[in-house]
Amino acid sequence: MNSRGSVRWAFSFGSWHPTESQFQLAASCIQDEEKIRIGRFVFKKDAKASLVGRLLMRKYVSENSSLPYAGIRFGRDDRGKPYLIGDEEGKSMSNFNVSHQGNYAVLAGESGANVKIGIDVMKFEYSGGKTLSEFFRIMTRHFSPFEWEAIRGNNVMSDKLQLSMFCRHWSLKESYVKATGTGIAVDLQKISFRVKTSELRIGAVVTDTELYVNGTRLEDWHFEESLLDENHCVAVALNGKGKDYDPVTFKFLDFSELMSGSKPLLCVDPVYSENFFTKEEKPI
């Protein structure tokens, strides 16, 4: 964690092809109920995404609290959101959130008892079987008219650019509702973002996007946007940091860094490992 208490981590599970010993170590460092849940995934990619997400959480809490690695326990609330057991009120001095989609699992963490934080990562891809314009029509009610103007670019942008702007706006909305804990059951059309910097760049953090809820700008919310690579955008929503904080770029972890400081909670399970390696990587 840097001097201002900010952590931004990314791990490319899409390019991680674990050895048997790596997978067995990783699977032994999570809670038994999570191991069972992850074992039910049909494809390797989904299992890896969930596994890495849990390991990022454990690494963050172990490095930013007084809890020993083996003493960290996570539960899930009624919306399925993970929380640190013993901190059900959300009063921890360290706040974190995780997301995984495309090829990446990401974590954002902040110190401070009054900080709210949410993160979302998205890959610029669409494979829904419909045309992009038809997909946008179906999604109309989730975005404000102002946002659709930015997404469609007056219909002069290419499909690729429209899709990237759609993903960027969706990631912003997801990061906000995850930070507030409301989930996407809220009326997303009333949550409207005004993007001022039209393009994101790898290694640079954009912080000038504005949030309007029911037409009123919420100036106490800040959003960090960046590209992990040319195909993935990530958004971090922050509340309670004040205006003078310095946003940080994402650190890309390799497997050794992900597992640094870890302690096995469970015995090595060769049958569990064998079951993982018999799965296909992803749907064909």
Burial class (CB in 10 A: 0-12, 13-18, 19+), 74: middle
State whether 93 and 130 are in the same domain. no
Q: Are residues 108 and 125 in the same domain?
A: no
Residue 198 Cα to chain centre, angstroms:
22
Query: What pLDDT digit, counting tens, does each position of 50-87 carry?
Result: 999 999 999 999 998 888 999 999 988 777 777 888 76
Are 1 and 79 found together in one domain? yes
| Beta-ladder partners of 121 | 234
- Close Cβ partners of 222 (under 8 Å, ≥ 6 residues apart): 207, 237, 238, 239, 241, 243, 245
Average pLDDT over residues 113-132: 90
User: Distance between CA 2 and CA 252 in Å, rounded?
Assistant: 15
Count of domains for the chain: 2
Q: Do residue 124 and residue 227 come from a single domain? A: yes
pLDDT tens digits, 258-277? 999 999 999 999 999 999 99
Query: Cα dihedral sign for 132, 134, 138, 144?
Result: positive
- The answer on 235 and 122 residing in a single domain is yes
Percent above pLDDT 90 for the chain: 76
Confidence of residue 92 (pLDDT cuts 50, 70, 90): low
User: Could you tell me the two tokens for 1?
Assistant: 């964690």
pLDDT at 2 over 60: no
> Does 124 lie in the same domain as 107?
no
Q: Which of 16, 11, 8 is nearest to 281 (CA)?
A: 16
Say yes or no: 174 and 266 in one domain. Answer: no
Average pLDDT over residues 123-127: 91
CA separation for the pair 44, 138 (Å, rounded): 31
Q: In the beta sheet, which residues pair with residue 174?
A: none
pLDDT > 70 fraction of the chain, expressed in percent and rounded: 94
Please name every residue paired with 116 in a beta bridge, in sequence order, or none if there are none.
Answer: 239
User: Does 168 share its domain with 283?
Assistant: no
Q: What is the mean pLDDT of residues 20-35?
A: 97
Using the predicted structure, report yes or no on whether residue 120 has a pLDDT greater than 60: yes
3 with 94, same domain: the answer is yes
Do both 62 and 143 map to the same domain?
no
The domain that holds 66 is classified in CATH as 3.90.470.20
Question: Would you tell me how many other CB atoms lie within 10 Å of the CB of residue 239?
Answer: 18
- 133 and 217 together in one domain: yes
Q: What is the pLDDT of residue 39?
A: 98
Q: In sequence order, what are the residues at sequence separation of 6 or more whose Cβ sits closer than 8 angstroms to the Cβ of residue 140?
A: 148
Do 105 and 33 reside in the same domain of the chain?
Answer: yes
Structural domain including 179 reads 116-239
Question: Per-residue b/e over 118-129, b at no fewer than 16 CB within 10 Å?
Answer: bbbbbbbebeee
Confidence of residue 188 (pLDDT cuts 50, 70, 90): confident
- Gyration radius of the chain over CA positions: 19
